[in-house]
Amino acid sequence: MQLDRATLDRSLQLGRTFLLNSQTEAGNFNYEYDWREKTLSRDDNQVRQAGALWGLTLIHNDAPDPELESHIDRGIAFFASHQRSGPDGRSCVAYPGDRMGTTGTIALLALAHVDYLRALGQGSPEPKSRQLRNRLDGYLRYLLAARNEDGVFHGEFDPSSCTPSGEHSPYSDGEALLALTKAAKYLGRTDLVPLAIEVADAGYRLNVERALAEDSDSDTTKGFYQWSSMSFFELATSGWPGTQKYGTYVMDLADWMIHTHHTLWRTRNTAYAYEGIIHAYEIARERNDPRQSIYGCVIDVGLQRLTSWQVGGPIPADYLRGTQELDDPFAVGGIQNEARLPGLRIDVTQHQMHAVILARRYVYQ
C-alpha cells in the first residue's frame, strides 16, 4: 500500500485546521480561497456551507473535541438565525442572498444535527440536546413534506413559507435519504424506517436503474452515487428486515464508479467516490467477497493522489512542494480541486476529510 495510517492522521489534522480557520465569526464559512493569489472568492453556495458544518460534526464524531464543539455551535447558530417555519412544524432556512432554498441544504443541516447529537451522546446537557432534537425534527418534517410523486424530493423551496417545489435533484435525493436513514438508525426515530426504505427504493429506481438505462455513464447516477452508497451501507448494516440487498447495491455502484465512470482517470478531485468505495470495501470484507482487493487497490491509489493535493500536506505533489513551511492559516490543510488549481473550496476539503475518516476506520486501521 502507498498510504498508511500516520499519513492519513496528519492529513485529517490539517484538513480539520483548514475548516476551522475557514469559519467566519458569523458562523458560516469562507467559500473558496486562492492560496497563490491570497484572495477569497465572492462566490457562495448554501448547500456546501451546510456541508462544511456537517463535515465538522463528522470530525467531532470521530474524535470529540471541545474546540470543535464550540465551532459547531457557532455554525448551528448561524443557520438557526436564518431559520423559517412552515406548516406542520417544518423548518427551513432563508440563506442570505438566495431567493430560493434547496432541499439539499436542509438535508445536510439535518445530517449535521444527527451526527452532532451522536457525538455529544449521553453526556450532553439536556437543554442543549432537546434544542438540537427539536430543530432536527423541524428539518425532518420539511423533508417529509418535500417528497414528490416519484417518491423522491422536490429540489427547492420558498424560504418565506418552507413550501417545496421544482424538479428533483439526484444530489438532494441522496442527501435527504441519508438524513432520514441516519436519524432512524442512530437517534431512535424508528417511525422513519419504512419511509427511508421507500425513498431508497424510489431513488435507486429513478437515479440508478432508469438513469443508467438511458446513459451507461450517467451524470444523474454520479450525483446520486456517494450519498446513496452511504445510505445503502447504513441500511445494509442496520439489522432491519429486508435490507441485505442494499449491501449489494453499494458494491454494484462501486463497480460502476471504478469500471464505467473510471474514477481513477478523472482529473478533478474525486473524494466523493471514496465515500462510496470505502463502504463497498467494508461490505465486501464482511461478505468475504473477492472484490475487496480491487476496492482496496483503488482506494490506496486514488486517495494517495488526492492527499498529494493538500496544501502543507504530508505527501505534497510537485506543484505543492514547499507548502509545508507556508504560513497562511486560510491555506494550510485545504485540498485543491485539481493538481494545479490553487482554489481551495470548503466542500472539496470536507468530502476528502470524510473519505479520510472512513479510510482510517475501515481500511488503514
pLDDT tier at 121 (50, 70, 90 boundaries)?
A: confident
Pick the closest to residue 224 from 275, 259, 182 (CA basis). 275
Cα separation, 272 vs 274, in Å, equals 5
Q: Is the pLDDT score of 122 beyond 70?
A: no
Q: Output the average pLDDT for the chain.
A: 97
Q: What is the mean pLDDT of residues 313-333?
A: 94
Cα separation, 290 vs 179, in Å, equals 31
pLDDT of residue 126: 82
Q: Is the pLDDT score of 124 beyond 80?
A: no
Integer-rounded Cα radius of gyration of the chain: 19
Q: What is the pLDDT of residues 212-234, one digit of tens each?
A: 999 999 999 999 999 999 999 99
pLDDT of residue 18: 98
Q: What is the pLDDT of residues 294-312, one digit of tens each?
A: 999 999 999 999 999 999 9
Structural domain including 329 reads 5-362
Q: Is the pLDDT score of 125 beyond 80?
A: no
Strand 32-34 and strand 163-165: pairing?
A: unpaired
Percent of the chain with pLDDT over 90: 96
pLDDT tier at 324 (50, 70, 90 boundaries)?
A: confident
CATH of the domain at 285: 1.50.10.20
Cα separation, 307 vs 12, in Å, equals 10
Supply the DSSP string of 253-302, one letter for each residue: HHHHHHHTS-GGG-SB--HHHHHHHHHHHHHHHHHT-THHHHHHHHHHHH
What's the pTM?
Answer: 0.97
Q: What is the pLDDT of residues 254-267, one digit of tens each?
A: 999 999 999 999 99
Lowest-confidence pick of 38-52, 97-111, 318-332: 318-332
Q: Is the pLDDT score of 186 beyond 80?
A: yes
Supply the DSSP string of 159-195, one letter for each residue: TTTTEEES---HHHHHHHHHHHHHHHHHS--GGGHHH
Q: How many domains would you assign to the chain?
A: 1
Contacts of 40 by beta carbon, 8 Å cutoff, 6+ apart: 30, 31, 32, 33, 34, 330
Question: Residue 13 corresponds to which cell in the numbers above?
Answer: 489534522
Q: Is the pLDDT score of 357 beyond 90?
A: yes
Question: Residue 343 corresponds to which cell in the numbers above?
Answer: 482554489
Q: Is the pLDDT score of 10 beyond 80?
A: yes
Cα separation, 302 vs 263, in Å, equals 8
Element (H or E) spanning 145, and its range?
helix 126-145
Q: What is the mean pLDDT of residues 19-48?
A: 98
pLDDT tier at 2 (50, 70, 90 boundaries)?
A: confident
Q: What is the pLDDT of residues 69-113, one digit of tens each?
A: 999 999 999 999 999 999 999 999 999 999 999 999 999 999 999
Q: Is the pLDDT score of 123 beyond 70?
A: no
